[in-house]
Amino acid sequence: MSYLRYDTPSELAKLNEIWELDRIFTNCLLPQKKLVFKQQHGAKVTKKYDTAVTPYQRAIADEMVRKRPIIQMNAQFKQLKPAALSRKILALTGELETLSLAKKPGVSKPAVNHSFNH
């Protein structure tokens, strides 16, 4: 397995597209547990978590959030199509990989000789 380097403006643009869609996917569709209690007795640590909900659900349930942002979030959520969003992220990831693999390979460095002749 090798790692790809994303260092061109077109790759950055593709990454930004992926990150924006991933932000929407994570905040609206992936439930997360929050740590509400942690206690340590010697080496034993006891942790308690709340019920898993999405960041979107936490935001609309928060009393400090004003009504207008909640209305906007609800409107965006209703337009969300999870399967289509997931397919778009996968497609963009494939395009990013294609862009990276299409670049000319970098200049290879000469092998380093680690044996010392003293």
Asked whether the beta carbons of 14 and 22 are under 8 A apart, the reply is no
Q: What is the mean pLDDT of residues 47-68?
A: 95
Report the C-alpha gap between 92 and 13 in whole angstroms.
Answer: 11
Percent of the residues in the chain that have a pLDDT greater than 90, as a whole number = 80
pLDDT band at 106 (very low <50, low <70, confident <90, very high): low
The reported pTM is 0.74
Beta bridge partners of 49: 35
Identify the pLDDT of residue 31.
97
Listed in sequence order, the DSSP H helices in 1-118 are 9-29, 55-61, 67-79, 82-102
State the average pLDDT for the chain. Answer: 90
Asked whether the beta carbons of 6 and 102 are under 8 A apart, the reply is no
